[in-house]
Amino acid sequence: MDKLKSYFRERTPAYSSLPDSDDGNVPDGSRRVPITWRDETTRRRLKLLSIIMIAMSFAGLVFMLFLKTVGGATDNAPPEKCDTPERGFQCSANISHSWGQYSPFYSVPSEIDPALPKDCELTFALILSRHGARDPTFGKAVQYAALLTKIQGSVTNYGPGFEFLRDYEYTLGADQLTAFGEQQMVNSGIKFYQRYQFLAKKSLPFVRASGQNRVLVSAKNWTQGFHEALRADETATAPHDKLLPILEISEDEGVNNTLSHGLCKAFERGGRYAEVGSSAQERYLSAFAKPITSRLNERLPGANITDSDVISLMDLCPFNTVASPVGALSKFCGLFSQDEWEKYDYYQTLGKYYGYGPGNPLGPTQGVGWVNELIARLLKKPVEDSTSSNGTLDSDPVTFPLDRELYADFSHDNDMMGILGALGVYDEVKPLDNTTRTKPEEAGGFSAAWTVAFAARIYVEKMVCRQGDNRGKELVRILVNDKVVPLTKCPVDEGGRCEVEDWVKGLKFVREGGRWVECFA
């Protein structure tokens, strides 16, 4: 075990780092990521040129090149546009959209049209984003390597489909973004600009990031995508000579940081609050994993696979996939059926719901500080909060301006879970069953993959409409990964929106500090 730990302390990721930018305006430590976005006019021109070339001589050769150019798959490689700014990751969607928090971001189906209403003028937009795809955490990396060492040291007869494990070499790094994850964040910055172009072309967002490296790098890559889209917009008047500055908020112990939980002692020290999520997962694991465990032990005689080992082997599917710069599907993915992947997703969903979200008594309280900051931004009034907000930063207009139309915050999945809990958008969802899977559609859109995937994002929009019953009113709505999530605790219209003041009044739990006093009982 000591050798394994030493390996992960010294090992660099298996993928190569992208070259540093030679632009003097790029912040230190950032990476210049190739931009794959093209506007629709350019796409049409390229397609027309390809058609003309096909009609000319050497049609066969040109046709093959054309197929490659537009992303046709060859051999076992995925299409070049497996992951796009607009829709996120769409390859092998039958399983890749069921990897819980390890799914790459994808656009979630929405019953309410997520497009900006044509009769409304957008006045405010905010993104709260998880970092992009990463390697396993250090602890998980050691665990995975140990499991593979056990299998390779005890199995001599590998069953059909499992033969690749004989010579598989574990080469994943630990904790850092992958090249795929970096490009995800570039794509996210592009999409944010395109979606909110009406404001973004003339008003730059204020950007904050929690201080862990993968979050900071994600924010930097997001700003690169936003900047490239801004520069490509000939109608833009916002300055685009430099990348956006990023306010880093430390994650050091004891620091007030609404983008990183850590202050609530009762929640952090374990005990009954920590056990809520793990207990729900353990019960569900015992309900669904045993047939899988039996099958794996038949295919890997001598390995003595346990139920928890099953989860580790399933984890290696998404982690190896996002370690590929283009998201090439890992061989680990084929070891399990679609039904098993859906159950895996639910296993992860239970961990998030009961560990950090609405199902944990203190989960939503961890997000109260951030939501109080959101209220201040929406109303353009000073922050009123006595939980995790940073009074020094939030009282200074330089570090917490209230005059912006666009904002961007970057954090982690567990923190986003607490914030979603504080926002109350899933309050009407019945507590999730820990023995039988509840589909996301049956849970009000709640699942780990639908809410906090790699590069997941929450949009908060404020708008004023010119027609109908809402004419002249300031309305607010929330989208989670492109799905409009109807607000609660206020009179909601057919578009899932409420009047801003009504919504703020309904957030009594947030304005009164949640259950913060219990953190120190």
Please identify every residue annotated as catalytic: 131, 413
The dihedrals phi and psi of 74, each to the nearest 5 degrees, come to -125, 145
Residue 446 is encoded by which pair of tokens?
């709640």
The single-letter code of the amino acid at 431 is P
At a CB cut-off of 8 Å and minimum separation 6, what does 56 contact? Answer: 62
CA distances from residue 471 to 120, 490, 499 in whole angstroms, order as listed: 9, 18, 11
Strand partners, 247: 208
**CA-angle at 157, arms to 153 and 159, nearest 5°:** 120
Which segments within 108-180 are labelled E, that is strand? 120-130
At a CB cut-off of 8 Å and minimum separation 6, what does 41 contact? Answer: none
- C-alpha 423: how far from its chain's center? 18
CA distances from residue 275 to 267, 329, 348 in whole angstroms, order as listed: 10, 34, 15
- What is the Cα–Cα distance from 420 to 368, expressed in whole angstroms? 10
- What is the Cα–Cα distance from 501 to 499, expressed in whole angstroms? 6
The single-letter code of the amino acid at 259 is L
Tell me if 516 sits within 8 A of 264, measured CB to CB.
yes
Strand partners, 397: none
The single-letter code of the amino acid at 313 is L
Tell me if 313 sits within 8 A of 332, measured CB to CB.
yes
Count of beta carbons in the 10 Å neighbourhood of residue 506: 17
Tell me if 210 sits within 8 A of 259, measured CB to CB.
yes
